[in-house]
Amino acid sequence: MATIWRNRIEAGTKKLSSCPAKYRNDVIVLIQADLSSGAYTEAQLRSLVSKELMTEEEFNEIVG
């Protein structure tokens, strides 16, 4: 389920804040892994902030 939520968030169809608490930490780990592997870029993640699909605080929590 965390993978599904990660896909939704990265696609911009759901917000991280909408993710059920029981999956949130796993979703963040999966997004961090995508950033590390280059499967998803920090610029793509930043675009979610500019589209108001993610807060600045959530962005910082993910990228560190």
Compute the 3-state secondary structure of the chain and give helix, strand, coil in percent, each to the nearest 5: 75, 0, 25
> What is the per-residue pLDDT across 14-59, written as a single tens digit (0 to 9) for each?
999 999 999 999 999 999 999 999 999 999 999 999 999 999 999 9
Mean pLDDT of 4-15: 97
pLDDT of residue 49: 96
Distance of alpha carbon 28 from alpha carbon 34, whole angstroms = 10
Distance of alpha carbon 27 from alpha carbon 17, whole angstroms = 11
Alpha helices (H) along the chain: 2-11, 21-37, 42-50, 56-63
- Does the pTM of the predicted model rise above 0.85? yes
pLDDT of residue 42: 97
CA-closest candidate to residue 54, choices 33, 34, 24, 26: 24
